């Protein structure tokens, strides 16, 4: 009897393992966090990925929309303690059975927009919670990347200096808030008084520090797109630091000119059958389209170089053409 029970448990474990292996993408891989990630780690990862793949920033890109849905689904499950425990043990199949037994939807109980709004505003309870957090100023840096970097993808080392909060001697007032109380000023008469109340915290100071950071430029990124380093902007006491944002621009190139996902170039040729200023389009030879396997087009404008004089051989060939 004991042997049969052990075999049954082993079988159930094997089934749950197989279910996890075929159930699709690993939620931890989707959020790009380790299996033992804290909620704070997942929050930062979600903010970065949700901004990157949001449909409003990738109009018409079905792959980005799919990734955005996967990111929201993974975050909703892994930040729910009960669902995360079920997922860690039994995978997505366990979540489906949990939902079938009245435990909520397997993919989560929140709307994707509700999750996104809780981070970035847009209505609901998220706004109220976000307003309570003091945040430092964002730092925006214009980054002029070469056409080669934007075509192939690249990683750039950038020197960054910023203020860092350090301990300092003494105490300071912190977490200040307005409290309302009523004072009796006579029989049946009360006066409402608002008073600021603060706590006492260790003192701090700002020090300037610098370091190299790696900025990853993805293939096909366009002018105006941003690479965001969350909470790496200007710090603020008793709050979150702002964000560091690199705004991408295409640096001028000596041979090619970029227009969106298309490339333009001019080629000078000797006198021939090509008309001056003729433009030829070569499909799929332009810039890579961001978050896609497709490319734009290459437009080649031909400039014809007319000779100031002709050799006897050239004269003979021209006569043969028009004979």
| pLDDT tens string 200-238 | 999 999 999 999 999 999 999 999 999 988 889 999 888
| Pairing assessment for the beta strands 256-259 and 244-250 based on DSSP bridges | unpaired
143 band by pLDDT with thresholds 50, 70 and 90 = very high
What was the pLDDT predicted at 102?
66
Query: Which candidate, 246, 248, 166, places its Cα nearest to that of 213?
Result: 246
Give the Cα-Cα-Cα angle 213, 217, 221 (nearest 5 degrees). 145
Distance between CA 73 and CA 110 in Å, rounded?
9
Q: Tell me how far CA of residue 150 lies from CA of 12, 263, 285, 287, 293, in angstroms.
A: 50, 12, 14, 8, 14
Residue-level pLDDT at 128: 39
- Residues near 308 by beta carbon (within 8 Å), at least 6 away in sequence: none
Mean pLDDT of all residues belonging to the chain: 81
pLDDT at 115: 55
Tell me if residue 212 falls in helix, strand or coil.
strand
pLDDT band at 112 (very low <50, low <70, confident <90, very high): low
So what's the pLDDT on residue 90?
A: 84
Please indicate whether residue 1 or residue 67 has the higher confidence score (pLDDT).
Answer: 67
| pLDDT > 60? residue 17 | no
Hey, how many other C-beta atoms are within 10 angstroms of the C-beta on 217?
A: 20
pLDDT at position 131: 42
d(CA 24, CA 70): 10
| The two three-digit tokens of residue 62, written as one number | 């079905």
Please say if the pLDDT value at position 122 is more than 70.
Answer: no
Given this model, what pLDDT does residue 52 score?
A: 85
Long-range pairs for 170-174 at CB < 8 Å and ≥24 separation? 170/203, 171/200, 171/201, 171/202, 171/203, 172/200, 172/201, 172/202, 172/203, 172/204, 173/198, 173/199, 173/200, 173/201, 174/198, 174/199, 174/200, 174/201, 174/237, 174/238
> Bridge-partner residues for 163, per DSSP?
208
Query: What are the helix (H) ranges across the chain?
Result: 2-22, 27-31, 39-53, 62-78, 81-98, 112-120, 125-131, 147-152, 312-322
Q: What is the pLDDT of residue 313?
A: 84
Short-list 217, 51, 236, CA closest to 162 = 236
For residue 23, pLDDT beyond 50: no
More confident residue, 279 or 178: 279
The pLDDT assigned to 306 comes to 77
Q: What is the DSSP string of 142-192?
A: EEEE-HHHHHH-EEEEEEEEEEEEEEEEEEEEEEEEEEEEEEEEETTEEEE
Per-residue model confidence (pLDDT) at position 132: 59
Mean pLDDT of 163-176: 91
For residue 155, the model assigns a pLDDT of: 94
Q: Which of 33-47, 63-77, 277-291 has the lowest mean pLDDT?
A: 33-47
Tell me, what's the pLDDT at 5?
47
Q: How many CB atoms lie within 10 A of CB 49?
A: 20
pLDDT of residue 138: 94
pLDDT tens per residue, range 39-58:
878 888 888 888 888 888 88
Q: How many CB atoms are closer than 10 A to CB 100?
A: 9
pLDDT value, residue 146: 97
Residue 119 vs residue 226, higher pLDDT: 226
CB 298 within 8 A of CB 262: yes
In angstroms, the CA 167 to CA 238 distance is 13
What is the structure's pLDDT at 64?
Answer: 85
């Amino acid at each position: 009897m004991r042997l049969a029970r052990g075999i049954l448990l082993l079988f159930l474990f094997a089934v749950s393992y197989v279910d996890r292996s075929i159930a699709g993408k690993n939620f931890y891989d989707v959020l790009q966090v380790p299996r033992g990630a804290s909620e704070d780690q997942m929050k930062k990862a979600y903010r970065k990925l949700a901004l990157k793949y949001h449909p409003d920033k990738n109009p018409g890109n079905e792959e980005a929309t799919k990734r955005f849905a996967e990111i929201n689904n993974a975050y909703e499950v892994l930040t729910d303690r009960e669902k995360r425990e079920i997922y860690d043990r039994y995978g997505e199949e366990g979540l489906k059975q949990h939902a079938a037994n009245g435990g909520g939807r397997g993919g989560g109980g929140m709307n994707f927009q509700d999750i996104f709004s809780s981070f970035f505003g847009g209505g609901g309870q998220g706004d109220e919670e976000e307003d309570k957090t003091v945040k430092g100023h964002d730092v925006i840096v214009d980054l002029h990347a070469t056409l080669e970097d934007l075509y192939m993808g690249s990683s750039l080392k950038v020197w960054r200096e910023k203020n860092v909060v350090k301990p300092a001697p003494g105490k300071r007032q912190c977490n200040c808030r307005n409290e309302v109380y009523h004072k009796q000023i006579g029989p049946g008469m009360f006066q409402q008084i608002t008073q600021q109340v603060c706590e006492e915290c260790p003192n701090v100071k700002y020090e300037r520090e610098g370091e190299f950071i790696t900025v990853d430029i993805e293939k096909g990124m366009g002018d105006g797109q941003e690479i965001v380093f969350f909470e790496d902007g200007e710090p603020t006491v008793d709050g979150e630091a702002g964000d560091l944002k690199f705004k991408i621009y295409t640096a001028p190139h000596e041979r090619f000119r970029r227009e969106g996902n298309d490339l333009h170039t001019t080629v000078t040729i000797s006198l021939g059958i090509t008309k001056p200023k003729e433009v030829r389009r070569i499909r799929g030879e332009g810039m890579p389209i961001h978050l896609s396997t497709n490319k734009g087009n290459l437009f080649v404008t031909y400039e014809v170089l007319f000779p100031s004089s002709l050799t006897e051989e050239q004269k003979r060939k021209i006569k043969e053409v028009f004979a």
